[in-house]
Structures are given as structure tokens and as C-alpha cells.
């Protein structure tokens, strides 16, 4: 987060006050990152508003501000096209949930953005200040493949960065599965053996990332339930989560944890991806 040099700020043509811009100013104020303001609208010209916002930002001390209005087939494709063209390392967008009926029939545009955008995406949901708040990092300690290990490192690193930025407190949540008598591995057949295995793995994880017992929360159950519950319990202002960016039929039927919890969380959500996924999505975006 602190190494971000270029931020794409997605503005909403229907809402004058931009929560996304407020968060972008906070991050750019510390990192010195360039702000690129984007208005996605194919009907109305917003050049005057964009120029005004850029001028106000310059007066406030943000010297590197650019802006544009663009539309390419759909909202998420417009954002990704500009992100690629501008080389932005972070996209910040306000999230407004779709109504349940529309979401049941069509994949929400913000879900598509989370799945297909090659860089990190910060979904802004509230106006609450981050200062002094709890930052919640969600990881799967029991997943040991190299891609997830690197993703966990990125999640914790970003969690610490936001904690430093906001002078807050970092907490970590890791969910483990319920016992399954049909599991091939006997470890996953009994509650006690599952908990023992996860506690052992958590000890190594805590040592690697300097997470105290008081700041690590391990619980049994589905991640898409436990993450919002833990965020609410500790009144988190930001939740940092990873996604495998599942697409196609499996994505439509199963969904990704990041997408499922997006509406359930009552705080801002930073979504990260594995390096392998970022490379793949960048290739798709450029094709």
C-alpha cells in the first residue's frame, strides 16, 4: 500500500460527494501517489467537474493529478481499460450494493471488477475515518500452496501498511473447516484434531508475521460468515482479503469469498490477488 505510486479513483456521476476520493486523498497524502480521476459515463459530459476537482486537489497540495472521462462497453471494462493504460497499481471505487433481485439475475459490476481487474481494488463502503480503527486481515492459514503463501504475505503486508497509515490496530481472522467423516485425511474427521492442526500451523504463521494471540482469531466455519462476524465484533474500518478471481460457470455458481462478503461487511474492503492471477488478468486485459 505504501509503495503505490499511481491510484485510479473511480468517481460516480450520480453522487457528487465521493467517498472514493476521500480515501484516495488519505493514501496519496502519505505515499505521494499520483491520482488519476475517472468518470465512467457515456451520456453526459463531466469535463468541467473533473477539471474543478483536479484544481481543488492541486490547491490542497496534491500536485500530481490527472483526469479523464471514458466508456468502453461496460463499467468494469471501462475501469480496467483505463487502469491498464495509466499503469495504476490501485483502484479505489465506492461500492453501492445492487438490489437482491438484480443481483440474482445478473453478476454485479463490482463483482466483475473484483474478478477481472489485475491490480488491487479498494471498495469504499462508509465515510468512517480509518484513524485509530481496527484493520482486519483475512487469511487461510491451512492453505500451504506457494500461491496462497505469497497471497497471505501480501494480505498481512497490506494490513500492516494500512495500520501504519491509520495508526490503527491489526487483527487477523482465519477460518477452518468443520469435521467431515468422509474426509480422506483422518485429521479432518474430528473436531479436536482439526483444531490442533490449525493451532500448530497458526503458531508458525504468528512467528513469521509477528501476530500476537490477542490479535489472531481462529474459528470453525465458512469464511464468508466468519469474516463479516469478526469485522463487526471488532468494529473494523477496513478488511483486507484475497481472491482467486474465479470466472466462468464455477464463478457464477460458487462465487468468491471476496464477492460474497462484499455486501455483508460494514466496512471498506481491500481485495488482493495472487501474482499468477494478476499476470493472467493483465494478459486478458491487453488482448
For the stretch 34-60, pLDDT in tens is 999 999 998 899 999 999 999 999 999
Cβ–Cβ under 8 Å, residues 237 and 125? no
pLDDT-derived band at 235 (thresholds 50, 70, 90) equals: very high
The yes-or-no verdict on residue 169 having pLDDT over 90 is yes
For the stretch 110-149, pLDDT in tens is 888 988 899 999 999 999 999 999 999 999 887 777 877 8
Q: In this structure, what are the phi and psi dihedrals at residue 209, rounded to the nearest 5 degrees?
A: -110, 5
Angle ∠(230,235,240) on CA atoms, nearest 5 = 65
Cβ–Cβ under 8 Å, residues 282 and 84? yes
Domain 6-94 identical in fold to domain 134-286: yes
Whole-structure pTM value: 0.88
d(CA 87, CA 206): 34
Say which CATH topology domain 134-286 has.
Rossmann fold (3.40.50)
The yes-or-no verdict on residue 233 having pLDDT over 70 is yes
- 6-94 architecture in CATH? 3-Layer(aba) Sandwich (3.40)
Residue-range domain boundaries for the chain = 6-94, 134-286
pLDDT-derived band at 107 (thresholds 50, 70, 90) equals: low
Determine the pLDDT at residue 8. Answer: 98
Amino acid at each position: 500500500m505504501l509503495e503505490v505510486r499511481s491510484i485510479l479513483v473511480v468517481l460516480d456521476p450520480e453522487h457528487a460527494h465521493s467517498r472514493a476520493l476521500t480515501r484516495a486523498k488519505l493514501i496519496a497524502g502519505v505515499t505521494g501517489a499520483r491520482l488519476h480521476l475517472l468518470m465512467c459515463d457515456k451520456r453526459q459530459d463531466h469535463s468541467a467537474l473533473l477539471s474543478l476537482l483536479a484544481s481543488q486537489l492541486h490547491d490542497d497540495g496534491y500536485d500530481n493529478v490527472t483526469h479523464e472521462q471514458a466508456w468502453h462497453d461496460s463499467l468494469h471494462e471501462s475501469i480496467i481499460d483505463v487502469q491498464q493504460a495509466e499503469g495504476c497499481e490501485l483502484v479505489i471505487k465506492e461500492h453501492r450494493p445492487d438490489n437482491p433481485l438484480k443481483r440474482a439475475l445478473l453478476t454485479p459490476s463490482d463483482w466483475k471488477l473484483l474478478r477481472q481487474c489485475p491490480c488491487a481494488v479498494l471498495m469504499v463502503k462508509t465515510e468512517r475515518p480509518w484513524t485509530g480503527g481496527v484493520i482486519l486481515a483475512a487469511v487461510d492459514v491451512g492453505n500451504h500452496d506457494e500461491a496462497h503463501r505469497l497471497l497471505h504475505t501480501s494480505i498481512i503486508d497490506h494490513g500492516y501498511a494500512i495500520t501504519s497509515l491509520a495508526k490503527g490496530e491489526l487483527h487477523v481472522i482465519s477460518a477452518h473447516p468443520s469435521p467431515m467423516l468422509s474426509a480422506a485425511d483422518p485429521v479432518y474427521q474430528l473436531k479436536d484434531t482439526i483444531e490442533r492442526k490449525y493451532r500448530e500451523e497458526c503458531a508458525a504463521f504468528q512467528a513469521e508475521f509477528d501476530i500476537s494471540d490477542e490479535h489472531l482469531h481462529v474459528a470453525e466455519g465458512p469464511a464468508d460468515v466468519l469474516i463479516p462476524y469478526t469485522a463487526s465484533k471488532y468494529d473494523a474500518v477496513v478488511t483486507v482479503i484475497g481472491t482467486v478471481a474465479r470466472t466462468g460457470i464455477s464463478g457464477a455458481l460458487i462465487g468468491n469469498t471476496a464477492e460474497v462478503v462484499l455486501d455483508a461487511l460494514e466496512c471498506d474492503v481491500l481485495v488482493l490477488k495472487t501474482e499468477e492471477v494478476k499476470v493472467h488478468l493483465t494478459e486478458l486485459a491487453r488482448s
